[in-house]
Structure 1
Amino acid sequence: MKLAVRLMMLSLVLALLFGVPWWTLVSAPTGGSGTLFWIGTAIGVAALGFLPLTMFLGHGPAQSDPAVIVGDTLLGVLWVVFSWSVLGVFARGALAVAGVDGALAARLVAAGVLAISVVLVAWGVYEARRVPRVRTVDVAIRGLADGLDGLRVVVVTDTHYAALDRRRWSERVVEVVNAQQPDIACHAGDLADGSVAKRHAQVDPLAEVKAPLGRFYITGNHEYFGDAQGWIDHMASIGWEPLHNQHRVVTRDDDQLVVAGIDDPTGKGLPGHGPDLPAALSGAPDVPVVLLAHQPKQIADSAAAGVALQISGHTHGGQIWPFHYLVRLDQPVVAGLSRHANNTQLYTSRGTGFWGPQLRVFAPSEITVLVLHPER
């Protein structure tokens, strides 16, 4: 019964994702007949069969990297076309109210949706694959010692090293990170998709990050779709300190700051893993705590524990507009600095890389510099 329900839901989703663009770009502007109608319909039917096939070959037992690249990219393109096709339906309604002939309106909308989709896909690929822009944010921390004023915490997260070989991109990210002169460097999870054996060459440039007060790493949910412990061990082997429900005390000029990290909630299914904030803070001195927690929704526990600042990723800022509206249903924040109960602040990064489709539309990637100051 569960399998039948899942297949039914999958069929419904595919019908919507393909059906709305087919109606907007093929059926309505051609009047449902003619050569262009049949060519467009054939392309749609082929894509409808090709997408599930490539997704299965890429993300199923075969783990085919070429299939991942093709399938994920097709999914991203389809989402862009679907989103603007939905808007096209409303545009046709507006044109009808304005008295524009129905056939002409359908052709105008189809041309507009197609043009916008092509531009956004091209721009989205560029935005996803470029070296992220640096975003600098000043954060006032209650109780932070004066000796730690100006402490620079550089954050990368959601690098998602995967089927596309992004070793050179990784090297350039490291160059940008080092140019920010971080005191502390953090990776807030979702390091890679795949095994250490397949992806370590893309991750290894992170060994060159320079941060005199520490380089810290936590697991995201995607580590638990593969080999979480393997990635924890590998990051330790290249000089990063995994914070596996642990904390470290950072000292500068005899003033202290606690940097803690907890596992992603997905880890609960793996023995010895899963978030344990009390364990992470056990024995910590009474100074402000900066906590790495992959998902923004972990903020509720952080605020209850009196954490000064939680650093998260996970959302990608939505990655491809308007997906951020769906993300917001699951997470309290999609991006940026926010304040929560007990004076706890949360910084949610839009992520440094991308997951799945190599597109970012209206959700640019970032390398974040959090500059800490005492709250006056």
Structure 2
Amino acid sequence: MTDTNDTRPADREERAPRQSRLYRLMRYLPLIAPVLLWAVPCWVLLYAGQRWPWPVTLAGTAVFALGLVGMPLAMARGHGRRQQDRAAIVGDTLLGAAWVLFTWSVLLGILLRLALVAAGAGEGQDRARVVTWAVLGVSAVLLAWGYAEARRVPRVRTLDVHLPRLGAGLDGLRVALITDTHYGPLDRARWSARVCKTVNSLEADLVCHTGDIADGTAERRRAQAAPLGTVRATRARVYVTGNHEYYSEAQGWVDLMDELGWEPLRNRHLLVERGGDTLVVAGVDDVTAESSGLAGHRAHLAGALSGADPGLPVLLLAHQPKFVDRAVAGGVDLQLSGHTHGGQIWPFHHLVRLDQPALAGLTRHGPRTLLYTSRGTGFWGPPFRVFAPSEITLLVLRSPQGSTSA
């Protein structure tokens, strides 16, 4: 492995990306989302023809009103200036529960009701009450299952990735990918240690973390991140920043990862050599870095590849999949990303698709570039994963020559 910081003139600087449709939509969501998330289930469960006894209706309405008021207040105290972890846990949990209730209130409130009408089952009140119990039952099961999915150690997903320019000496190179660990208000130090133990069992040549280590500063989440220092790789451990680092003193996270023995690839690269062949492993800061105002932080692919032989294959770490357009223009062979969480709680993935070119898995972009998007190792905010399982990924790089030299 050779580290290089050689420089060469950049053909052109990358332009800052336009604000996406999702970003523009998100500006208005804090105003309307809480009302919709709580008001729609309240109406579907209590006022859509059920004719519950008035104490039931009153108590149910009070619960939804408390959720509507309490969720934003808890999230403000938890994620605002005060950074109160207990409040963040309450707010995040209420957000996840409200999203699941909202989703299934809409789906079952329409589809199940139509099915009951078509089947001629029951009277109006009976059908409405069946819908209510179905929504509550489905939501309870999904929230319990989703919580268990979020808190477990991710399963390992293994796949071969064929790179036409990869030399025979590098065939079989094992690349482990973790991302979006999001250490946060829920203490996951023990979970972190188990994740690192699983990564070590893969006996990877290269271990990558593509950002969003935590929600909070490095000083505050150090205990949860500390097990990352136990991760082993035969060649290198490399890391790039995600957007959440730029909410929480990004340079502190870069310094901590360096202290833990990881190589922060901040618009630079290193070389992995084996069997007479070489792979360029490059990394860029997250695309939000420049707007953070932090000096020296920006996504700069030309700088990351400066000094590298253009004839060598390139593995690029970039937190967000949407950087792939620049990767294609730069002739990158494989980009590794996270950020999307696979949507985390279905059907949020439809909103993610407005902002990103890929949700999860391996996709091709342009004539050469492959993009692998991980669903993430941890979770952000609501401690639930519904139909979007977390993952630790083992990518085995394959050469056309098919050599399996160690």
> TM-score by structure 2 length?
0.89
Q: Does 1:293 align with 2:315?
A: no
Q: Does 1:94 align with 2:115?
A: yes
**1:31 aligned residue:** 51
**Cα distance in 1 for residues equivalent to 2:315 and 2:209:** 13
Which protein, 1 or 2, shows the higher relative CO under an 8 Å CA cutoff with sep ≥ 6? Answer: 2
Matched residue of 1:332: which SS? coil
Contact 2:34 2:72 in 1 (8 A): no
Q: String of CA shifts for 1:231-257, please: whole Å, max 9, x gaps.
A: 001100110000000000111122100
**2:60 aligned residue:** 40
CA apart distance, 1:63: 0.5
**2:80 aligned residue:** 60
Which of structure 1's runs of 4+ aligned residues deviate more than 6 A? 5-8
Matched residue of 1:314: which SS? coil
**Cα distance in 2 for residues equivalent to 1:303 and 1:251:** 24
2:332 to 287, 296, 307: 307
Q: Does 1:162 align with 2:187?
A: no
CA apart distance, 1:42: 0.8
Q: Does 1:337 align with 2:362?
A: yes
**Cα distance in 2 for residues equivalent to 1:180 and 1:168:** 19
Q: How does 1:113-192 map to 2 (within 5 A)?
A: 113-192=135-214
Matched residue of 1:153: which SS? strand
**1:268 aligned residue:** 290
**2:104 aligned residue:** 84
Q: Does 1:70 align with 2:93?
A: no
2:347 to 322, 336, 352: 322
Q: How does 1:10-29 map to 2 (within 5 A)?
A: 10-28=30-48
2:221 to 194, 199, 211: 199
**Cα distance in 1 for residues equivalent to 2:400 and 2:27:** 53
Q: 1:227 and 1:11, CA in 2 relative to 1: closer, same or farther beyond 3 A?
A: closer
Q: String of CA shifts for 1:197-240, please: whole Å, max 9, x gaps.
A: 11011111111111011000000000001111110011001100
Matched residue of 2:367: which SS? helix
**2:18 aligned residue:** none
Q: Does 1:226 align with 2:226?
A: no
Q: String of CA shifts for 1:139-190, please: whole Å, max 9, x gaps.
A: 0001111111110000000000111111110110011000000000000000
**Cα distance in 1 for residues equivalent to 2:159 and 2:131:** 41
Contact 1:304 1:342 in 2 (8 A): no
**Cα distance in 1 for residues equivalent to 2:44 and 2:90:** 24
Contact 2:362 2:372 in 1 (8 A): yes
**2:4 aligned residue:** none
Q: String of CA shifts for 1:240-279, please: whole Å, max 9, x gaps.
A: 0000000001111221000000011110122211100000
**2:372 aligned residue:** 347
Larger mean CA deviation between 170-179 and 24-33 belongs to 24-33
CA apart distance, 1:354: 0.3
Matched residue of 2:387: which SS? coil
Structure 2 unpaired stretches of 5+: 1-24, 402-406
Larger mean CA deviation between 66-75 and 23-32 belongs to 23-32
Contact 2:183 2:221 in 1 (8 A): yes
**2:307 aligned residue:** 283
**Cα distance in 2 for residues equivalent to 1:6 and 1:113:** 27
Q: Does 1:363 align with 2:384?
A: no
Q: 1:11 and 1:224, CA in 2 relative to 1: closer, same or farther beyond 3 A?
A: closer
Matched residue of 2:288: which SS? helix
> TM-score by structure 1 length?
0.96
Structure 1 unpaired stretches of 5+: none
Q: Could you say what the CA RMSD is over the residues aligned between the two structures, in angstroms?
A: 1.5
CA apart distance, 1:6: 9.5
> What letter matches 2:322 in structure 1?
K
**2:237 aligned residue:** 215
> What letter matches 2:363 in structure 1?
S
**Cα distance in 2 for residues equivalent to 1:19 and 1:29:** 16
Q: Percent identity?
A: 56
2:260 to 238, 248, 251: 238
**2:8 aligned residue:** none
**Count of aligned pairs between the two proteins:** 372
Q: 1:198 and 1:320, CA in 2 relative to 1: closer, same or farther beyond 3 A?
A: same
Q: Does 1:50 align with 2:70?
A: yes
> What letter matches 1:349 in structure 2?
S
